[in-house]
């Protein structure tokens, strides 16, 4: 039985690898891709997503562009992490297709049937818009598995992870929606580092493996600057959690999103120890079998040509 998924993303090196992991995995069926402004502008993340589908020979998968800015804030991109294109490093094929002529929220509303899992790997702007425009989607959506947030420290600020920091109001709307949501945060993504040996194993497996190795050639040195020995493949872990739910351990607790703080905007305030009398509205990830995740990632990407 394969789980139907839709990915809402802002590629982004790890978003691109998340899409490829989904395409390589029989446990999930990627029904649609939508794009949001985040790591780069919407124009760039949309082009990047089209190029990734083209690379994998899957330009048949419908793709729609969504929000070009957060709900109520100016866009802050991550060119320092992902480069000027948002996907610096490899030469990607030119897209031969265009986005569908609809906003991401519309494509998501169409694609979300009972049993579909929504996997956002960027700021939650499109998902907040989806819930506002199509509140009925709550009844159809199985759950959301989001890469974002952290119980511990952030990466955009000491308090906030990038996807939460870019659009805290959207994150607040999604976390208070009542839809089951799993947060794959930095607490687990930082435990599994993709290193040069992983890239070396992929480089000669075919054009997809070579491209992922070249993405890593750009991405790993970026993380080394912060003292990491490799790069977390944040977004791919969210997809991996749908593929194999036993990879990541989670616990249910209350998560509130800070939207009005000088220092802590975008903080995902997770009540890990249940000290508040607040509803358990999310599952947060607390541990990952890092080796098993990385081996799955390398094996699956190697299988693509």
- The correct pick among 8, 15, 142, 161 for binding Ca ion (CB under 5 A) is 15
Residue 155 touches which of Ca ion, ligand BDR, none (CB < 5 to 8 A by kind)?
ligand BDR
Piece of the chain touching ligand BDR by CB under 6 A; list 44-52, 100-108, 132-140, 158-166: 158-166
Active site residue 13: no
Smallest separation, CB 93 to ligand BDR (Å): 21
The answer to whether 8 contacts ligand BDR (rule: CB under 6 A) is no
The answer to whether 271 contacts ligand BDR (rule: CB under 6 A) is no
Residue 177 forms beta bridges with which residues?
none
Residue 40 touches which of Ca ion, ligand BDR, none (CB < 5 to 8 A by kind)?
none
Q: How far apart are CA 123 and CA 290, in angstroms?
A: 24
CB 178 within 8 A of CB 279: no
Piece of the chain touching ligand BDR by CB under 6 A; list 7-15, 45-53, 89-97, 203-211: 7-15
The answer to whether 187 contacts ligand BDR (rule: CB under 6 A) is no
Residue 21 or 106 having the CB closest to ligand BDR: 21
The residue at minimum Cβ distance from ligand BDR is 162
Residue 194 forms beta bridges with which residues?
231
CB 119 within 8 A of CB 242: yes
The answer to whether 142 contacts ligand BDR (rule: CB under 6 A) is no
Residues 162-181, one symbol each (x = binds ligand BDR by CB under 6 A, - = not), give xx------------------
The answer to whether 182 contacts ligand BDR (rule: CB under 6 A) is no
Residue 78 or 253 having the CB closest to Ca ion: 78
The answer to whether 185 contacts Ca ion (rule: CB under 5 A) is no
Helix (H), strand (E), coil (C) string for the chain: CCEEEEEEECCCHHHHHHHHHHHCCCCEEEEEEEECCCCCCHHHHHHHHHHHHHHCCCCCCCEEECCCCCCCCCCCCCHHHHCCCCCCCCCCCCCCCCCCCCCHHHHHHHHCCCCCEEEECCCCHHHHHHHHHCCCHHHHCCEEEEECCCCCCCCCCCCCCHHHHHCHHHHHHHHCCCCCEEEECHHHHCCCEECHHHHHHHHCCCHHHHHHHHHHHHHHHHHHCCCCCCEECHHHHHHHHHHCCCCEEEEEECEEECCCCCCCCCCEEECCCCCCCCCCCEEEEEEECHHHHHHHHHHHHHCCC
Smallest separation, CB 188 to ligand BDR (Å): 12
Q: How far apart are CA 76 and CA 38, in angstroms?
A: 7
Piece of the chain touching ligand BDR by CB under 6 A; list 9-17, 51-59, 99-107, 135-143: 9-17
- The correct pick among 25, 121, 268, 281 for binding Ca ion (CB under 5 A) is 121
Active-site position among 13, 82, 198, 234 = 234
- The correct pick among 49, 147, 247, 248 for binding ligand BDR (CB under 6 A) is 147
Structure token digits, residue 253: 């607790």
Smallest separation, CB 280 to Ca ion (Å): 26
Residues 223-242 interacting with Ca ion (rule: CB under 5 A): 235
- Which residues of the shown chain bind ligand BDR in the complex (CB under 6 A)? 12, 14-15, 39, 78, 81, 121-122, 147, 155, 161-163, 234-235
Catalytic site positions: 234
């Amino acid at each position: 039985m394969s789980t139907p998924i839709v990915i809402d993303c802002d590629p982004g090196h790890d978003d691109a690898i998340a899409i490829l992991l989904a395409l390589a995995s029989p446990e999930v069926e990627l029904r649609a891709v939508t794009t949001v402004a985040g790591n780069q502008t919407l124009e760039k993340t949309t082009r990047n997503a089209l190029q990734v589908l083209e690379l994998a020979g899957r330009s048949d998968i419908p793709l729609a562009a969504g929000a070009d800015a957060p709900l109520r804030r100016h866009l802050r991109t991550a060119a320092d992490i992902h480069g000027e294109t948002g996907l610096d490093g490899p030469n990607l094929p030119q897209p031969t297709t265009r986005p569908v002529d609809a906003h991401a929220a519309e494509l998501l509303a169409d694609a979300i049937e009972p049993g579909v899992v929504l996997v956002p790997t960027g700021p939650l702007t499109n998902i907040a818009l989806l819930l506002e425009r199509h509140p009925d989607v709550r009844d159809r959506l199985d759950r959301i598995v989001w890469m974002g947030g952290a119980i511990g420290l952030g990466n955009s600020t000491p308090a906030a992870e990038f996807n939460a920091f870019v659009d805290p109001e959207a994150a607040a709307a999604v976390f208070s929606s009542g839809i089951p949501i799993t947060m794959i945060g930095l607490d687990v993504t930082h435990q599994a580092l993709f290193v040069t040996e992983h890239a070396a194993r992929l480089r000669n497996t075919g054009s997809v493996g070579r491209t992922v190795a070249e993405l890593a050639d750009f991405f790993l040195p970026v993380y080394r600057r912060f003292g990491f020995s490799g790069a977390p493949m944040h977004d791919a872990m969210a997809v991996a959690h749908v593929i194999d739910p036993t990879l990541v351990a989670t616990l249910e607790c209350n998560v509130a999103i800070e939207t009005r703080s000088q220092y802590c905007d975008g903080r995902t305030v997770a009540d890990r120890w249940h000290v508040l009398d607040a509803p358990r509205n999310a599952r947060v990830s607390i541990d990952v079998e890092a080796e098993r995740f990385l081996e799955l990632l390398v094996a699956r990407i190697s299988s693509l040509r």
